[in-house]
Structure 1
Amino acid sequence: MDKEKKLNGGRDKSKDSPRTGLEESFVLYDHKKLRMGYTTGSCAAAAAKAGTRTLLTGVETEEIVLDTPKGIRLHLPVEDIHIQRDESGIPVKVCCAVRKDGGDDIDATNGALIYAEVSCTGEAGVTIDGGEGVGRVTKPGLDQPVGNAAINHVPREMITKGVLEVCREQGYTGGISVIIRIPEGQKIAEKTFNPRLGIVGGISVLGTSGIVMPMSEKALIDTIRVEMKMRRENGGEYLVITPGNFGERFASEMPDLVRTHEMKCSNFVGETLDMAVDLGVKGILFISHIGKFIKVSGGIMNTHSHEADCRAELMAAAVLRAGGSADLARKILSTNTTEDALKILKQEGGDGLFDASMKRITERIGFYLNARVQGRIETGAVIFSNDFGMLGRTENVPDLVEKLRKQG
């Protein structure tokens, strides 16, 4: 095998077009085939491995092979290669990049160049740090200790493995310094959870498998857990949790509510409760639009429309429990949104039936939240409507609000 092919992972680039190894890798979501991608961690590891090979051979590495923790082998093109040489022409520093491809996932980092700057050091081993655009950890409870670059442990392991592999190939026994840079990182970070997590100055280098699975619920749940763990280790025994922006906005209008430890759970109510128990949280106050949490009143713990709907059915059932007529229930069953259902209930049932129905809904929400955690933590909920404001709250909400106030 000639030197060019060896540097490029054993493939002759002149004979075929670049193939990453994911061309036939898809996941099915909503009856569509979505293309898989690779993580920022894979990009960082690939760039570090390519940079080390260029540093130790003096020949530009235009493609690098990377084995991911998921077991998929990637062939990644290397871009923007810069070699700094000493007076005798020996490389002393190499900087190169691999471009992030998140596949068909919704990903703020897609297309970003992930750079690795590598150089030799006197001491054996691989040292890893972050430069421009890589965030710094400022709060305990995250994957890395306070002060470290936000390069998670699996990407660090991948970087180390790839660099040492090249060192063994080339018979080099010294040390290698790797600095990861992401020039667009600080701008991209504004679109991520990093500011909420106390990661400043850029994005995190992430990935546990090395591969991006489009529309991955696990990835979203993992993100929720990361934030909850951080808040718990920073004094958040009691949390305010909203499904999304509507809830966050309504919470901001509650004058007595201390929101120091507030976070979002998206549609994953059940998983959020489970992880709260596991992490030692003492209490959660949920604040949600009724369109989401009316589903919880029926024991539905994933509120995404792909999982379940039943909004009109649950509203109609509450109205019947509160003494409403079958004719009114049938009208509510014909509505498309909870806001429409509330308008009909208000117009035809009056304030008394309206309030009684909301009471039944909040009672059932409280029942199912407590059933999920089996009484191991305190749970409560406030539900609201865009048109009618606060609709109801579980009976323990004042107690939770006071505990949040004392917690500060």
Structure 2
Amino acid sequence: MSISPPRSGYTLPVFACASAIASLQHLHGENELNSVTFNLLEPPEAITIAIEQVARLNPDAALAITRSEPGDNLDLTRNTPIWALVERKTGNQEIEIEGGEGIGIQVDNGGKSAIYSYAQRLLQENLRPLLLPQESLKVTIILPEGKKLATRTSNAAFGVVEGLSLLGTTGISQPLSAPGQLEIFREQLKILSRRFDRLVFCIGENGLDLAPQMGINPDILVKTANWIGPMLLEAQLQGISEILLFGYHGKLIKLAGGIFQTHHHLADGRREILTAYAAKMGLATPHLQQIFDSSTSENGLEYLRQLDGQTGDNWVERIYGEMANTIDRRCQEYVYNHSNGHLRVGCILFDRSRSLISKSENGLKFLQNLQVTP
């Protein structure tokens, strides 16, 4: 059966770059700017992005605005405005890029703006050919809604506060949360099921990168994004005997609460689930209140680690061990309840620094069967 792929869009760095190019071109005298065309670099192709507004603020500064279009994705940045303020000065064609209002701050990296390497490269390589001799630029990227939108993300768990990140390694926004993407994931799983009877489900890019570093064969890795429940059912249907779930604890923790579509637009409950399992393991009420009031599940984990350091206890091991084994059990029950079939499921959870937190009993056996050192 032929499957029409969902429509892709572009990542935030692309719209930031388009706004910056429009601002610079306006400073150079182009007044009728409805769109700009430039190279995505990753992939190396030319695209055209619509410009909503552009205005000169003074003879050496201009501001342009684009709007995010991420394609067929459940993406909270859809239609958000991206501003670029470009200020020119005399110099040796240097380009300084900084984050303004709504661009996140990296708390673990000296407070630098969360404008990562692809975004930096995209801006530098597309703006530099447009510079006049002896012209240098200061480019400030602004997301007016960034601070508000960031409260609905897990950015803080990864050390980014006060706004959104210009993140990613490509200009294409893959529609991982669109229903059509699930069908593509299923087709990929069907192909792999002809070669392997054990597979590793990775929720995101961190898992796909970390698993091979542990010695896991990259050929058995399957990206699921947030479609964990449907992908488990598909694995059982295709005759897979065993699945290892490998992912960030802030995602997989939801499975311990019976949530099998993990996109934050649809369900959350991470702090509540962590608090419930801490209570089950006997943690005292004042500590439960601290975990429940944590801003993120990552902060809840850090609180438990600090508590272990102060008391010499092993709350992290006990609580996360219980959650990991429950994740296995609930996943197996989910598959049986929806298919009357059996699928062995194990899991491994890691934190924002990609350090392993916990392996379930089944997860440990899975690694041993692969002859991977836990």
Normalising by structure 1, what TM-score?
0.46
Normalising by structure 2, what TM-score?
0.50
